[in-house]
Amino acid sequence: MLKRFTPLLSQIAAVLVILSYLIRWGFYDRQLIEVDFQLVPYAKGENAAIFAAYSADGTVPDYVLDYLEKLKQIAPNIVYVTDNPIRRGEIKKLEPLVTHITAYRHGEYDWGSYKRGVARLWHNQPFDKLILANDSTLPVAPSFAPILEKMRADNADFYGITANEDGAYHLQSYFLAFTPAVWQHPAFGEYLNAVKPEINGLTVAYRYEVPFTNYLESLGFKSAAYIPYDTLRDLPLNDKNCYPLTMLSKHNAPFLKMRTFTNRLNVQESRRLVFAWLEKHAPNAYRNLLTHLRHISSPYLKDAR
């Protein structure tokens, strides 16, 4: 009698296993949680990076994972700070890439994430260079190593990719690199510790990003940009990221602002041509971009056709 029901019992067991996986995926892995923990020991004497992120639904986009893989090649110690709770299942994606994860809502935008990440590193010195980076850009370059190589060649104490003259001349804070003399200076920590919640991202930029370059230069540190601002004078707007195709094709920009595909950047060039350039010259970045734009239901996906 029992033998007659054995196949049926096996089928029921298989269905139950499948259901358990579906329940885990649907509830456990998608559960939003707050975390703040170290995954692996810090590598002393190596470069370190703070990566600031934000995700409305607690996921980690593919373009961010690609960014972290490239960042890890030049900065083995990565503190990932996201201004939101994270889905439990997304942590597995980050485990091979980052040293520490902090994920909870603090409401201080990227600069608040930088503040929290640097506080972590202060307790785990010594490191070499410090990089502040965030998820506002799509990584286009195959490697970030040339950025640090040019920083050394330019003999800069702190370094950015591009600069802007809105408000005052300043390095844009989506990617900044600092020598130990700068980031271990007490004034560096004092500046970040003064970051507090602001009404919006624009206020954050004018209160923290714009004055930062002059603040460090007043202490005697030298700044430089990977793409010098003077070489972009033929582009009329102060924010040269408004010319994405020119920045990619003419100036070999290693990053593309994700705001290119929103209404929050005054884009002066054809998005359709930007998509075409990426598809030809940076196919992996192109695929990651399309995946993310589909995820957020971007209206600008139509320009990729």
**pLDDT tens per residue across span 242-274:** 999 999 999 999 999 999 999 889 999 999 999
In the chain, the percentage of residues whose pLDDT exceeds 90 is 87
Q: Among 71, 278, 294, which residue's Cα sits nearest to residue 174?
A: 71
User: Strands, E, within the chain: which ranges?
Assistant: 32-33, 35-38, 48-53, 77-82, 86-87, 100-103, 130-134, 137-139, 158-160, 163-164, 170-171, 175-178, 223-225, 255-257
Task: Tell me the C-alpha distance between 304 and 23, whole Å.
Answer: 36
Among the residue ranges 15-24, 46-55, 82-91, 264-273, the one predicted with the least confidence is 15-24
Span 10-44, pLDDT tens digits: 666 665 666 566 555 567 889 999 999 999 999 99
Amino acid at 250: K
Structure-token match 């990617």, residue found: 175
Strand order in the sheet with 130-134: 35-38, 100-103, 77-82, 48-53, 130-134, 175-178, 158-160, 223-225
Please state the φ and ψ torsions of residue 224, each to the nearest 5 degrees: -160, 160
Euclidean distance between CA atoms 277 and 286, whole angstroms: 9
Please report, as a single letter, which amino acid is at residue 294: R
How much is the pTM? 0.91
Distance in angstroms between the alpha carbons of the first and the last residue of the chain: 62
* pLDDT above 70 as % of the chain: 91
